[in-house]
Amino acid sequence: MPETRIVILDALTYAGNLTTLSEDLADPRVRFYPGKIQDATVVEGILKAEGVTHLVNFAAESHNDRAMMEAGSFIQTDVYGVYVLLEACRKFKLSRFLHVSTDEVYGSIDQGDFSESSPIEPNTPYSASKAGGELQIRAAIKAHGIPAVVTRGGNTYGPYHFPEKLIPFFITRLIDGKRVPVYGDGSQVREWIHCEDHAGGILHALLHGKDGETYNVGDRNERRNMEVVKILLEETGRDESFIKAIPDPRRGAHDKRYSMTTEKLNALGWSPQKPFESSLRETVAWYKERQDWWRPLVATDDYRSFVEAFYGPSLGEDL
Ligand code: DAU
């Protein structure tokens, strides 16, 4: 859609990185504002100045392990921030509000799949914050008729991923010859989707979803963590001595398995395109190639102090 303009509001927290957007920001149709979604003055000022019609909320505190240590910032962004956006949608009568949520709001499932009508039963401080945001949306749809759509995405991987989640954290450590901390026996199952497919699903729901509906965005690639780790070891030329099994730091909150059906979005004409294993191998190649992108991120005091505080005792000298 060549006539579309994109306005970005980003708090540039520890996981934000403007260099990721450098090519996009050179396009005159793209405008960037630094700021938080919790700041109503900033949000409303932008909607007014830019004449925004469609609002997509990608903003979130998103890392389960950080929320195990401190969940207040998650409530601020993932619950209160969503409320601020909804109020702004209401005031400026936007045509659509799309909220990017997560399959983690369903909780864990041993067998079978979650569908969009499954109950919301989050188990982690992070997923509870995302569920809280979703409940704000549910209420805003009913109380104020906000034209909102929610997407619930699976575990996402690909380039430009901040090195804290399993895949980018492990790739960057393995490239550096450091051991990788597998929680427990690594038998948890996650359903993986490439970031381009996830973004395509969100765009499809934005353009073709129905007001008030929720859509799962997944790719049916279920893998045990240890299966994923073995591919990463292979691609970085490391052997199994680089695996360090540690007592599960997520304790009782660690979901065993995620799995969801996607027929609802498929029926609107969307399907993911990227094959898991070869795309994961390409992702490792990307991190080998783009060390200029991630090395500054892992060298910050915030990054080092999080890794030290969260993994310190178990990773020891590998920090
Ligand atoms: O399912 C969607 C969700 O996927 C998103 O909503 C979250 O924002 C995103 O962080 C992700 O949540 P997970 O907690 O599943 O992702 P993470 O990459 O942190 O962990 C994936 C699995 O790997 C999980 O079973 C825990 C395990 N793990 C993770 C880390 C960081 C380890 O064994 N060691 C680690 O160091």
SS3 track for 139-169: HHHHHHCCCEEEEEECEEECCCCCCCCHHHH
Residue 62 CA to ligand 1 centre (angstroms): 10
pLDDT confidence of residue 3:
86
Q: Is the CB of 242 under 6 A from ligand 1?
A: no
Q: Is the CB of 182 under 6 A from ligand 1?
A: yes
Closest residue CA from atom 29 of ligand 1: 166
Q: Is the CB of 159 under 6 A from ligand 1?
A: no
pLDDT confidence of residue 317:
61
Closest residue CA from atom 30 of ligand 1: 166
Look up the CATH number of domain 6-311: 3.40.50.720
Closest residue CA from atom 8 of ligand 1: 62
Has residue 13 got a pLDDT over 80?
yes
pLDDT confidence of residue 260:
98
pTM of the model: 0.97
Has residue 313 got a pLDDT over 90?
no
Give the burial string for 9-34 (b: 16+ CB within 10 Å, else e).
bbbeebbebeeeeeeeeeeeeeeeee
- Interval 98-111: pLDDT, tens: 999 999 999 999 99
Q: Is the CB of 169 under 6 A from ligand 1?
A: yes
- Interval 29-39: pLDDT, tens: 999 999 999 99
Q: Is the CB of 258 under 6 A from ligand 1?
A: yes
Atom of ligand 1 nearest to the CA of 311: 36
pLDDT confidence of residue 1:
72
Residues assigned a catalytic role: 103-104, 126
- Interval 181-216: pLDDT, tens: 999 999 999 999 999 999 999 999 999 999 999 999
- Interval 112-131: pLDDT, tens: 999 999 999 999 999 999 99
Contacts of 124 (CB under 8 A, 6+ apart): 64, 67, 68, 104, 250, 253, 254, 255
Residue 82 CA to ligand 1 centre (angstroms): 23
Average model confidence (pLDDT) for the chain?
Answer: 96
Has residue 319 got a pLDDT over 60?
no
Residue 53 CA to ligand 1 centre (angstroms): 33
pLDDT bin (cut points 50, 70, 90) of residue 2 is confident
